[in-house]
């Protein structure tokens, strides 16, 4: 199980930013309608099947505004929940909990949506030998959290940022002049993590001859993927990407490719339905 990716300092900064955009000027409704000494109890429940993610951060959101609140946790990040399952129970100052509610829910719904989507894709390729990878297609500022959520769902983290590895893509090749020239320029550094994006079998052949360490086979159908993999002959790892969805991923995996990267699991995963129901205490 992956460790929660944010340090205490990063958690504080994240919550500072979240509250700055939501309650920087105060929660005018709660202040006008709710007595300052009123208390509430609330239950956070799953309303659909999901892989839950983001609970450590949500707890800190509540504790920031209601440091004396009592939180009882019934689930942990990575748990697979069914509709109706309890996630947590909270008791504390009504104004504070009402002000923190949306921020906490947004975090858990969004990250659980990513984890749940990742699990769906990972389950679809079970038994094929292929590994699901995430991508850099994340909301700016949320990459660590998004990639944490994909790992909870069964994906393998791939490139946290541009600093992680050399990935020569089509635009790099266009500027460099050719696959060979791009790989040669990268190899001068002595790096051994040079991946090349290939759109055609011809580019696969050129990348192999140039000395690429791995290949990204982009937007290739299963038949073309098999041709490319035959040419590679298992000499270096190969990743498939582009046009991957729940209808296509199994056939892609069955070609024998080592990895499949799916931008959808972070770029367009729907938030899951989670309820936070309050009652006066």
| Catalytic-role residue among 27, 197, 206, 258 | 197
* DSSP calls for 214-246: EEEEES--HHHHHHHHHHHTTSS-EEEESS--T
Active site residue 137: yes
Active site residue 218: yes
Active site residue 169: yes
| Catalytic-role residue among 137, 159, 187, 250 | 137
Q: CB of 11 within 8 A of CB of 38?
A: no
Q: By C-alpha distance, which of 98, 85, 87, 79 is closest to 32?
A: 98
Residue indicated by tokens 């309303």: 47
| Catalytic-role residue among 86, 156, 159, 169 | 169
| Catalytic-role residue among 59, 86, 102, 156 | 102
Active site residue 235: no
Q: CB of 156 within 8 A of CB of 132?
A: yes
Q: CB of 85 within 8 A of CB of 112?
A: no
Residue indicated by tokens 């393998």: 156
| Catalytic-role residue among 27, 60, 218, 239 | 218
Active site residue 254: no
Q: Which sequence positions are flagged as catalytic? A: 102, 137, 169, 197, 218
């Amino acid at each position: 199980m992956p460790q929660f990716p944010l340090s205490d300092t990063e958690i504080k900064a994240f919550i500072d930013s979240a509250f700055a955009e939501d309650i920087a000027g105060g929660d005018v409704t709660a202040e006008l309608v709710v007595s300052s000494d009123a208390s509430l109890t609330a239950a956070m429940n799953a309303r659909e099947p999901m892989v839950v993610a983001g609970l450590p951060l949500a707890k800190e959101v509540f504790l920031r505004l209601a440091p004396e609140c009592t939180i009882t946790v019934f689930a942990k990040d990575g748990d697979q929940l069914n509709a109706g399952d309890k996630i947590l129970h909270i008791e504390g100052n009504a104004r504070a909990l009402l002000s923190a509610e949306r921020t906490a829910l947004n975090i858990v719904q969004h990250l659980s949506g990513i984890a749940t989507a990742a699990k769906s894709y990972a389950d679809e390729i079970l038994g094929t030998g292929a590994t699901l990878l995430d991508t850099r297609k994340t909301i700016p500022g949320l990459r660590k959290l998004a990639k944490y959520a994909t790992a909870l769902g069964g994906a393998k983290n791939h490139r946290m940022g541009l600093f992680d590895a050399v990935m020569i893509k089509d635009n790099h090749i266009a500027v460099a002049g050719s696959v060979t020239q791009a790989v040669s320029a990268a190899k001068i550094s002595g790096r051994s993590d040079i991946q090349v994006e290939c759109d055609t079998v011809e580019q696969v052949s050129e990348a192999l001859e140039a000395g690429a360490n791995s290949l990204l086979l982009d937007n290739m159908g299963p038949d073309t993927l098999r041709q490319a993999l035959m040419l590679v002959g298992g000499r270096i790892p190969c990743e498939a990407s582009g046009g991957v969805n729940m209808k296509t991923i199994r056939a892609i995996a069955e070609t024998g490719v080592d990895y499949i990267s799916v931008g959808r699991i972070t770029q367009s995963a729907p938030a899951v339905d989670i309820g936070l129901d309050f009652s006066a205490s």
